Amino acid sequence: MYKLKYFIKYAFVLIAATGILIPSYVSAQDDEGEVMVELTPSNKNAIFDGLAKYTFEVKNTTSEEQVGKVAYIVTTPDGEKVKEDSMQVKIGKKSSEKYNFNIAQSKPGFYKINVTINVSYYDDTIRKAFGIRPEQIKSEHERPADFDSFWQKVKDDLAGIDPNFQVTPMPNLDKDNRHVYLIEMKSLDSMTIRGWMTVPILKNPKKKFSVLLGLPGYQVNLEPMMGTDADLVIITLNVRGQGNSRGPVDTRKEEFIFHHVENKERYVMRGVIADCLRAIDFIFSRPELRHDNILVSGGSMGGFLALATASLDGRVRLCSAQNPIFCDIRNLVDAVDWPISSIQKYVATQPGLTMDKVLGNLDYFDVKNFATNINCSVLMGIGSLDPFAPPGNEYAAFNNIKSNKKMMVFKDLGHEISQTYKEYEGRWMRDTFALF
């Protein structure tokens, strides 16, 4: 009997912020050849009108015939089975075969598809996801009736605090033909927050710069951001409890997300969002900055903050959000691990506190509820395999945006976006801001 020597090859995709790796293809190899499989959707983004079409290709370069079965199962994000099928296959030696799957699904949403192959000398499972008319996804959960008044009070409270803006040159950090400045300001609860501003070194003292405001991911310490664009000032903000803005809020990583979640008036994200609004105030305090050309951008928690800031402050012109968390929060329960698991663990330690009460508070921090008030142009990027910000939840928020918007879906990515997104974002910003 011919004996195959297995050698597993993985082409990995990195899921940002977790370090988890997932294989995009797998092959089994002997001394003379290998078995390789590839699953290809008929739509490059795996987004369909109602009939999902896939081609499953098996390449057999070994000198042995491969006989067995190919099967697939389609489920909802929470694991409910939608459809399954299988077929017997035979792939001759030194040959390949293609098998077409047509999966009809009428309900808008995202679905998981697992394709398994079990043949003579090889078996494996490929896991993907696809969307059916995601532009029709709507959340069944209502926006709090006092959502706008809640946030207006936050803005009023913030306006009553003297920002005491401070800008300190940091010449030892200057590089790439940019000056670096430490920036400090007072935000909600009179808390001091800090960040960085880098400014191109130019001979024209009257130059006014467009602005990129970079907002942080979860427990990320943002450093000064350099760049080669001579038309752009880059500000990176460390919100309370993160980076050089640690102080009264000084939680450990797993604690930050549920800090005072039992009270929406004290929940950490209330202050964090106010910090971002104060950063817009800072931009407007600087005469060398163009107040009509502000882009807010961030990923994960930073994407959430970018959308919230654009919603609450009409002075933002462009908003770029990558894999924003906290979209359609109530539908994240039982659908994701983090951040819901951390919040649930906290609730279990607090006598009398219930998850229903917490979800009632979190409704005031749900991206889908901020989205309805966004008036600027929005660019969003998501991964179909995102374990923290599922694509269906992302679309529930995106579809509430009434202004000019664009969604970029990356079918093989998790909690990240590709370089293609960043390149598009740069062109979009320059075209809108007329930076030629």
Residue-wise pLDDT tens digits, 251-297: 988 899 999 999 999 999 999 999 999 999 999 999 999 999 999 99
Question: What pLDDT does 413 receive?
Answer: 97
Whole-angstrom distance, CA of residue 187 vs CA of residue 180: 22
Q: Tell whether the model's pLDDT for residue 31 goes beyond 60.
A: no
Regarding whether 267 and 349 lie in a shared domain, the answer is yes
Q: What is the pLDDT of residue 228?
A: 87
- Tell me, yes or no, whether 375 lies in a domain: yes
* 305 assigned to some structural domain: yes
Whether the ω angle into residue 108 lies within 30 degrees of 0, i.e. cis, is no
The amino acid at residue 284 is F
| pLDDT recorded at residue 96 | 96
Query: What is the four-CA torsion angle of 425, 429, 431, 436, rounded to 10 degrees?
Result: -110
Whether the pLDDT of residue 379 is over 70: the answer is yes
Q: Report how far apart, in Å, the C-alpha atoms of 254 and of each of 222, 258, 259 are.
A: 18, 8, 10
In this predicted structure, the answer to whether residue 201 has a pLDDT above a threshold of 60 is yes
Q: How confident is the model at residue 16 (pLDDT cuts 50, 70, 90)?
A: very low
pLDDT tens readout for residues 209-261: 999 999 999 999 999 999 889 999 999 999 999 999 999 999 988 899 999 99
Residues 408 and 147: beta-carbon distance below 8 Å = no
Mean pLDDT over the full length of the chain: 92
Q: Do 94 and 21 belong to one domain?
A: yes
Same domain, 158 and 78: no
**Do 172 and 218 belong to one domain?**
yes
**pLDDT tens readout for residues 305-362:** 999 999 999 999 999 999 999 999 999 998 899 999 999 999 999 999 999 999 999 9
CATH code of 295's domain: 3.40.50.1820
**pLDDT confidence of residue 184:** 98
In this prediction, residues 371-385 reach a mean pLDDT of 98
Q: Is the pLDDT of residue 3 over 70?
A: no
pLDDT at 13: 30
The two structure tokens encoding residue 274: 């106010």
Choose the final residue of a domain: 104, 136, 168: 136
Q: Tell me: do 313 and 270 sit in the same domain.
A: yes
Range of the domain at 269: 147-433
pTM metric for this prediction: 0.91
Per cent of the chain over pLDDT 90 is 88
Residue at 3 is within a domain: no
pLDDT band at 14 (very low <50, low <70, confident <90, very high): very low
β 289-299/209-214 pair status:
parallel
The more confidently predicted of residues 19 and 87 is 87
- Do 225 and 266 belong to one domain? yes
How many domains would you assign to the chain? 2
Residues 78 and 185 in one domain: no
pLDDT confidence tier of residue 205, bands split at 50, 70 and 90 = confident
State the Cα–Cα distance between residues 184 and 244, nearest whole angstrom.
Answer: 10
Confidence at residue 21, expressed as pLDDT on a 0 to 100 scale: 35
Cα(81)–Cα(384) distance, rounded to whole angstroms? 18
- Residues 163 and 311 reside in one and the same domain: yes
Q: Using CA atoms, how far apart are residues 266 and 258, in angstroms rounded to an integer? A: 11
Tokens 């598809």, residue located:
113
- Is 386 among the domain residues? yes
Do 169 and 131 fall within a single domain? no
Among the three residues 83, 110, 136, which one is the final residue of a domain in this structure? 136
Instruction: Judge if 174 and 237 occupy the same domain.
Output: yes
Separation between Cα atoms, residue 274 and residue 252, nearest integer Å: 21
**Cα–Cα nearest to 197, from 173, 220, 218, 217:** 173
| CA dist list (Å): 340 to 325, 343, 345, 436 | 11, 5, 9, 44
Q: Which of 383, 339, 344, 346 is nearest to 365 (CA)?
A: 339
How far CA 129 is from CA of 279, 293, 355, in Å, comes to: 38, 37, 29
Domain boundary among 91, 114, 136: 136
Same domain flag for 98 and 164 = no
Query: Is 108 inside a domain boundary?
Result: yes
C-alpha span between 88 and 341 (Å, rounded): 41
Task: Provide the pLDDT confidence category of residue 25 given band limits of 50, 70 and 90.
Answer: very low
Q: Is residue 142 one of the residues assigned to a domain?
A: no
The verdict on 297 and 402 lying in the same domain is: yes
* Spatial separation of the C-alpha atoms in residues 328 and 21, rounded to whole Å: 26
Report the alpha-carbon distance of residue 427 to residue 410 in Å, rounded: 19
> Quick check: 345 and 415 in contact, CB under 8 A?
no
Torsion of CA 351, 352, 357, 358, to 10 degrees: 0
Domain contains 203: yes
Distances (CA, A) of 396 to 46, 135, 337: 18, 8, 19
CA dist 195 and 180 (Å) reads 11
Is 285 within a domain? Answer: yes
CATH number of residue 38's parent domain: 2.60.40.10
